Structure formats: C-alpha cells, structure tokens
Amino acid sequence: MKKFLLLFCYVFVLSCSQEKQNLNFLETALNSTDPKIKRVMDSIANYQVQIRYTQINRRNDSVLFTDYDFQVNDSMYFYPASTAKFPTAVLALEQLNKIDSLSMQTKYYIEGDTIESTFKKDISEIFAVSDNLANNRLIEFLSFDSINKNLKRKGISPVRIAHRLGYHSEDLKTKPLIIYLNDSTTGITKPFLDKIPEKLNLTNITKGLGYFEDGELITSPFDFSRKNYYPISAQHNLLKRVIFPQNFKENERFNLSSEQRNYLLSTMHTVPREVGYDSKTYYDGYCKFFLYGDTKENIPDHIQIYNKVGFAYGTLTDCAYIKDTQKNIEFLLTATILVNKNGIFNDDTYEYDEIGIPFLAQLGREIYQQEVSRN
C-alpha cells in the first residue's frame, strides 16, 4: 500500500510539474517583475511591441513548432529597418545558382562605384555588422520586383521591399554590375526597371508628432507608406524556412546548395570579432539583441544565435533562432519595439540603450531560462 501511495504521489507531482512546463513561456516572460520588462509592459501602448515565440519539439526525425504571439498583427505597421536585408541575402544566394558563370566567390563592383566586393563578403557584412552598402549591392543584383515576387512564390507574405538602405534613393532602375569572369574578362549585368511602389494602407503607417527633413522640423506625423514592409509573420516564416527547410514543401524552400546554406548559417551566428572587426566598437551583442544586446561580454561558444536585427527611426527588431548546444535547447523568437518618447523622427533621440535593447535582451533571457527548465 505504501509503495502504491508513493508511486501515486510521484506520478501526481510529475504531472503537476509537466503541467507547469506547458505554460506559455512568452506570457510568463512578459509578466516578469524585472524592471527591463516591467517598465515596457506597464506602458505597453507607448511601445508598439509585437512578439512571436516558437517552442520547438523534436519527435524522431520530425520538428514540431508551437507558436505563441503577443500583439502580432500584419496590419499594424512597424519599420523593419535592416531586417529586410535577410531576404535579400538569401535570394542573392539562390540567384547565383541560376547563373553558371557566378559563385559566392565572384568579384564585382557596381557601375559608377569603386568598391570591389564578392557576394560572399557582402553576405558576411550584412549579418556581422548590418552593412548598408553590402545590402544595396545585392539589391542592384536582384531588383525589388524580383525580391518581392520570389518571396511571394515561397509563401512568405505579406512583404514589400521597396528601397535601398542608408539612403532612400527613388531611382527605380538598378545599376549594372561589372563582374570579373576571370583574370582577363568582365561581364556586365543588365539593369532592371522596378515598378513604382504603391502607398501602404496600414494601421500606424503614420507615426509621431513630427520629423526633421533637411534640418527643418516638420510638425506633422512621419509617413512610412513608401517604406519597406516586412511584418513579424513574414520574418518568422523566412527564418523557419532557412533553419528548418525539411519542414516545408519543396516549392516553399530556397534553392541553396549545401555549401551556400552552410555559409549562410555560419554568417548568421558569427560575431563581428570573428571576421576581423574591432571588438570594442562591434562587440558580440552589437547585432544580437536577444540575451546579449545590453552587455559587451563575449557570447559563449555553446550559445549560437542565428539572426538578423534592424534598428532605425526608433524601431528595434530582432528575428532569431537561438540554440544552446550544451543544454540542448532551441527556440525561435522575433520581436519589435518602438522607443521614441518625444514623438519626433530623424532627430536621433531614441531610447535604444535605455529601454529598447534592455527589453529585448531580458525577453530573450526570460524565455531561455524557461526553456532550460522544461523537459
């Protein structure tokens, strides 16, 4: 009888423990009393937060996703900033497979420019330090229309990539690439003429109280209707296809060779110091907001963060697959937050370091700790 009672108690305690572990980790994280989370959640209407967290379970050869959302809404606009470089990098690799004479190592430069690069180097710079010029070179290679059509074909929508980054040129015509085919010959790509982007009709497409333009304060909301549009759902779906292609139909996957995919994954989690950047300026958390964005400590080797961040106009976004090889845990997390207390855009007065990055870093830590504790 005692053995039976002990067994019953053990099963009861175990079932209660498992029941607790099945809680929505995102909900628990956002209810944290940590001030980095609490100050945002206590004034949530001010920050336009959207989050999607995916719990990952493996059963034999299958990978199972369970998504949890907070305020995710494709119709609620936020500026994606450099997260839009992620699809550009992936599609550039795929495009290389369609042209026999080109590879990741191919050297080239943009007509009218003097900077020589390779596709491999550009992709590394996009993820290591979020380089704008590297992204824009790949835009000239692909064209906006091609990027948008190919994403839609893969089932990644809604999305609209419509402008270069760092400067918002209204030039709809891409510039030719001068490509080194071998030591003695070059080739020139044909320019593309993109369609005029239509104005976006979304909630919160105008933001704030005013903005600076050419040094002058304009006292009306800032209009984002001609900007890039890349919502949380699209970002998360792209990341899933890159990390777990086997979970998708063949026509929904990216056509990458093993070499290309391995290189892409490597660049996504490589920190700047590992590819030659000054670690004081470009510390490990510089482009890794979750877990480490608010510290300048080195990220341990056993924690691998495959991600793409964006920060501009007061909006911070990170889209990441986080993996701990020691503790054997993994999860996906995409989040965005707007930190612009004075409501003025283009004044470079945003609370990135005070509020935005600490919130994202702690959000990552809260979910990570729960992942460590679950079966």
Q: Tell me if 360 sits within 8 A of 293, measured CB to CB.
A: yes
Long-range pairs for 241-244 at CB < 8 Å and ≥24 separation?
241/154, 241/156, 242/90, 242/268, 242/306, 243/306, 243/321, 243/332, 244/63
pTM above 0.85, yes or no: yes
Query: Smallest Cα–Cα separation from 142: which of 150, 133, 152?
Result: 150
Residue 63 domain flag: yes
- Positive or negative: CA dihedral 86, 289, 72, 240: positive
Q: How far apart are the first and last CA of the chain?
A: 30
Residue 167 domain flag: yes
d(CA 227, CA 225): 6
Q: Tell me if 338 sits within 8 A of 47, measured CB to CB.
A: yes
What pLDDT sits at residue 184? 73
Domain count, the chain: 1
The torsion angle over the Cα atoms of residues 242, 246, 247 and 248, rounded to 10 degrees, is 80
Quick count: other Cβ atoms within 10 Å of Cβ 293? Answer: 26
Residue 7 domain flag: no
Task: Name, in order, each residue with C-beta under 8 angstroms of 263's C-beta and a sequence gap of 6 or more.
Answer: 104, 120, 123
H helices present in the chain, as ranges: 2-21, 25-30, 35-41, 85-96, 119-128, 132-142, 144-153, 232-243, 258-269, 357-373
Q: Please report, for the domain that includes residue 275, its CATH number.
A: 3.40.710.10
Query: Smallest Cα–Cα separation from 210: which of 77, 312, 76, 347?
Result: 347
Residue 297 domain flag: yes
Query: Smallest Cα–Cα separation from 197: which of 220, 237, 224?
Result: 224
Range of the domain at 67: 24-373
What pLDDT sits at residue 292? 98
Task: Name, in order, each residue with C-beta under 8 angstroms of 22's C-beta and a sequence gap of 6 or more.
Answer: none
pLDDT (tens place) for every residue of the chain, 375 residues total: 444 444 444 334 334 444 455 469 999 999 999 999 999 999 999 999 999 999 999 999 899 999 999 999 999 999 999 999 999 999 999 999 999 999 999 999 999 998 999 999 999 999 999 999 999 999 999 999 999 999 999 999 999 999 999 976 678 999 999 999 887 788 899 999 999 999 999 999 999 999 999 999 999 999 999 999 999 999 999 999 999 999 999 999 999 999 999 999 999 999 999 999 999 999 999 999 999 999 999 999 999 999 999 999 999 999 999 999 999 999 999 999 999 999 999 999 999 999 999 999 999 999 999 999 986
What pLDDT sits at residue 369? 97
What pLDDT sits at residue 168? 62
Considering only CA atoms, give the Rg of the chain.
22
d(CA 36, CA 47): 13
Residue 70 domain flag: yes
Query: Smallest Cα–Cα separation from 346: which of 203, 202, 216?
Result: 216
**Token output for 264:** 């892409």
Residue 133 domain flag: yes
Q: How many helices (H) and strands (E) does the chain have?
A: 10, 14
Residue 305 domain flag: yes
pLDDT by residue (tens digit) across 44-94? 999 999 999 999 999 998 999 999 999 999 999 999 999 999 999 999 999
Residue 273 domain flag: yes
